[in-house]
Amino acid sequence: MHLLDNEITVAFLRYATILIVKMMLMSSITAFFRMRKKAFVNPEDTTSFGKGENAKKYLRTDPDVERIRRIHLNDLENIFPFIFAGFFYSMSGVNLSTALLHYRIFLGSRIFHTIAYLIPLPQPSRALAWMAGYLVTFSMIYRVIMMAFVTS
């Protein structure tokens, strides 16, 4: 049986690819904001803006760039566990509608987390968005653990 004959694994793949694309876009947004805010971390990145002391002033941290980098790191910390858990969860014998509910809440939570972080919305918006995705991942992990520890 092929891995992708399982319709839940295919559903997982849909949500997972959207999440990976969303996470990868953070790289481009960071690069865009570094250019726009002229805030770089490597000396070789500033040479097109001038020589010597003139270029040095662009070696600085900018609050908006740092904010986007925190979103990116938060994505890494949360989306990687989702990919792991969601993949094996799709093989755990769960029914499709329950699986879709998990995948959709997670995707929604990460999109809302990014919006809440970027604007930024007043807390606890971002905290609750993060928490929703965190709990959904644990719910999937619980089922994977049940499967992995009981089936043998």
Which of 29, 62, 84, 100: binder of its own copies (CB under 8 A)? 84
Cβ closer to its own copies: 5 or 53? 5
- Please choose, out of 17-25, 50-58, 104-112, the segment that lies near its own copies by the rule CB under 8 A: 17-25
Q: Which residues contact 49 (CB under 8 A, 6 or more apart)?
A: 38, 55, 58
Does position 85 interact with its own copies (CB under 8 A)? The reply is: yes
**Contact, 40 vs 46, CB < 8 A?**
yes
DSSP tag of 50: -
Cβ closer to its own copies: 59 or 101? 59
Does position 20 interact with its own copies (CB under 8 A)? The reply is: yes
Does position 151 interact with its own copies (CB under 8 A)? The reply is: yes
- Please choose, out of 50-58, 73-81, 102-110, the segment that lies near its own copies by the rule CB under 8 A: 73-81
Torsion of CA 20, 26, 31, 35, to 10 degrees: 150
CA–CA dist 5, 15 (Å, integer): 17
Beta bridge partners of 131: none
CA–CA dist 107, 4 (Å, integer): 21
Cβ closer to its own copies: 53 or 152? 152
Does position 99 interact with its own copies (CB under 8 A)? The reply is: no
- Per DSSP, helices labelled H in the chain are 7-36, 53-56, 63-89, 96-118, 125-150
Tell me which residues touch its own copies (CB under 8 A): 1-4, 7, 10-11, 13-14, 16-17, 20-21, 23-24, 27-28, 31, 41-42, 44-45, 47-48, 67, 70, 72, 76-78, 80-81, 83-85, 88, 91, 117, 120-123, 126-127, 134, 137-138, 141, 144-145, 147-149, 151-152
